[in-house]
Amino acid sequence: MANPDNIEAVATETLVQAQKPPHKTQPHLPAIDGLRGLAAMGVVFVHCWCINGATPKPQFSFHDITVPLYRLFSPGFSGVFLFFILSGFCLTYPFLSNPGRPYNWPSYVLSRVRRILPAYIISFLILFLIGQWIYHAQILPSSEKFLYESFNPHRFIRELLLIQKSRIVNSYWTLVLEWRWYLLFPGLLLFARRFSPAVLVALSCGVSYLAQIPVLAGTVNQTTFDQVFAVLPMFALGIWAAHLAALAPERLHPWERQLISQTQLGVIAGALWCLAFFPPIMGAPLRPSVNTWGPLYFFLILAAIKHPVFTKILGSAPLAKLGVFSYSIYLLQEPIIRASNRFLHRPEHGIWQHLFTNFFVMPLLCILAGWAFYYVGERPFLKRSRK
């Protein structure tokens, strides 16, 4: 016969366990990895085009319209803006998909440091040492601007810690911007949960617009958050997308449920909007680019989560695996493309040889280098951060 005391103890333990909120792990979303892969390769292809001279040939004609083949790769620069929206989404989704998750901001800061800094610092130091070797060995002529410059300790420390834009790799400016956005995220998340993510998007658009008014722009430009204010709507759209993707339908407004049900139409409308207001690549201000690409990528993220066709395509194994080490690709792609341009191109190469080198060999080198660096300079720290 069972001991009544034991039965009572088991019942009490069962009741205590039932009262505890269920532990939820962060869900893995392969389609989001696929979007990361698309964003990274978009940046790679546009750099292959721009860094190597933005050659207008070969080109094809349709009736009276002539389109350079290289121009088809030019929208790749918007991959940077897709990364911004994905950043807002990926930071917000774990909180909203697990309502019982506490706000542990010290842990949040530590996770951001482990996620961004180790791989960045390793790549930065490697490229810096290569640049110094090139500079002192005089391997390249003085007119060649490939990674090298005289050593300045003060600037070196500020660039290493993402306090200012790197002069070693131009594309690292986005990491400086991301790092400052991380400081704003806790306040923006609390605002979105207290009021509404849609209100946050509207407010961020207002801040972005006011920061461009000549009367205020001078003062804003003197702060370290001037570019963050310009792209703030991108991060806010990511927070809103996470809100729509993570919450149960009954917790959303009817118009938000309608928005989710029409994500495929939103993607089409966003694409048409981009065609109508496509900004120039070189020297385009940030705010027009945000206004152009924001709606498309907002709906694309929602479609990746909610629409079965987009989920299947974007979550396919090749794209999802590419997205896993997309950060490593992003860290290394610009110096690899510059080096390839220097050492692979020859004066006697024709148009099609350049095309093969630019859009097959160079992207393949970027993928292989990113894959190798992921296992050496990124993955070990990711594993440690999960312990």
Each residue's pLDDT tens digit, 56-90:
556 666 666 666 666 677 788 889 999 999 999 99
**Quick one: what percent of the chain has pLDDT higher than 90?**
42
78 vs 97: CA distance, rounded Å: 28
Identify which has the larger pLDDT, 54 or 376. Answer: 376
Give me the mean pLDDT over the 319-328 stretch.
95
User: How long, in residues, is the chain?
Assistant: 387
The pLDDT score that the predictor gives to residue 64 is 67
Contact of 328 with 376, CB cutoff 8 Å: no
Query: 54 CB contacts (<8 Å, ≥6 apart)?
Result: 70
Give me the mean pLDDT over the 143-151 stretch.
54
Tokens of 198: 């849609």
Which pLDDT tens digit goes with each residue over 90-102?
999 988 888 777 7
Instruction: Please say if the pLDDT value at position 19 is more than 60.
Output: no
User: pTM to 2 decimals?
Assistant: 0.86
In the chain, DSSP assigns E strands to 59-62, 65-68
